[in-house]
A and B are shown apart, each in its own frame.
Chain A
Amino acid sequence: EVQLLESGGALVQPGGSLRLSCAASGFTFSNYAMSWVRQAPGKGLEWVSGISDSGGRTYYADSVKGQFTISRDNSKNTLYLQMKSLRAEDTAIYYCAKDEGAVDTYFDYWGQGTLVTVSS
């Protein structure tokens, strides 16, 4: 059974930093691209970032380029999202999602999400 467990969400002040983690199990992690998708309170879904199976290629939404960094540790079956210079508009539930194949495919499994709140 595929499981994705996010952690690291918290209340952070504007300008602060946070690192999210996603522990994966139930599939061969190193064979699949992974992504982060966020959902602001009461809003729709926004793809944030994706990373190839090896970690060699990364992709970002324009809204977070230069601000967020995606990475993965295939030896630990874990996906990360390093977020800096956080703004109120980054407040959202952040979901880790498994790509069906490469980064430009679809998301077949999602984690339960972790809440990031940016507020003073």
Chain B
Amino acid sequence: IVMTQTPLSLSVTPGQPASISCKSSQSLLHNDGKTYLYWYLQRPGQSPQLLIHEVSNRFSGVPERFSGSGSGTDFTLRISRVEAEDVGVYYCMQSIQLPQTFGGGTKVQIK
């Protein structure tokens, strides 16, 4: 399954919102009713960390300013008010089918 993210990069003023799109080549809706779409953030020089699981569920400790939405093949990660610590590369990932595949990444920078 091919995951396509847009935009490639984003420059955001602190306090302003940001939005990243992720599209999959096949529906990520399983017949168990779950949608297997995830979001990760890789801060500079660090390993990836899980932000969102199953489209819209924030992982433990993830701030409320991060939210996920979407269905089927179209998904969005939103940051309501970008902070300096949010810089890095954001990846979407699917796990409805092995191998898990990642989007190409969206680099978020602060203006």
Q: A95-B47, A100-B53 are in contact. Are A105 and B95 (CB under 8 A)?
A: yes
Q: Contact: A45 with B102, CB < 8 Å? A: yes
Consensus secondary structure, chain A interface: strand
List the B residue with the shortest CB-CB distance to A63: B99
Q: How far is the CB of B59 from chain A (nearest CB, A)?
A: 7
Consensus secondary structure, chain B interface: loop
What is the size, in residues, of chain A's interface with B at 8 Å between Cβ atoms?
22
List the A residue with the shortest CB-CB distance to B91: A45
Q: Contact: A111 with B47, CB < 8 Å? A: yes
How far does the alpha carbon of A107 sit from the alpha carbon of B51 in the complex, in Å?
A: 11
Report the tally of A-B residue pairs with Cβ distances under 8 A.
53
How far does the alpha carbon of A107 sit from the alpha carbon of B48 in the complex, in Å?
A: 10
Q: A105-B95, A106-B53, A108-B59 are in contact. Are A47 and B100 (CB under 8 A)?
A: yes
Whether A32 is near chain B, meaning CB under 8 Å from some CB there, is: no
Whether A46 is near chain B, meaning CB under 8 Å from some CB there, is: yes
How far does the alpha carbon of A44 sit from the alpha carbon of B106 in the complex, in Å?
A: 10
Pick the residue among A35, A46, A110, A111 that contacts B102 (CB under 8 A).
A46
- What residues of chain B lie closer than 8 Å to A107, measured between beta carbons? 48, 50, 100
Q: Contact: A45 with B99, CB < 8 Å? A: no
Give A53-81 interface residues, CB cut-off 8 Å to B: 59, 61
Q: A106-B38, A110-B48 are in contact. Are A47 and B99 (CB under 8 A)?
A: yes
Q: Contact: B47 with A108, CB < 8 Å? A: no
Binding site for A on B (CB under 8 A): 36, 38, 40, 42, 46-50, 53, 59, 91, 93, 95, 97-105
Q: Which 4 A-B pairs have the closest CB atoms?
A: A110-B47, A45-B102, A47-B100, A47-B99
A sample of 25 inter-chain contacts (CB < 8 A) reads A35-B100, A45-B48, A45-B91, A45-B93, A47-B99, A50-B98, A59-B99, A61-B99, A103-B98, A104-B95, A105-B95, A106-B36, A106-B38, A106-B93, A107-B48, A107-B50, A107-B100, A108-B50, A108-B53, A108-B59, A109-B50, A110-B48, A110-B49, A112-B46, A113-B47
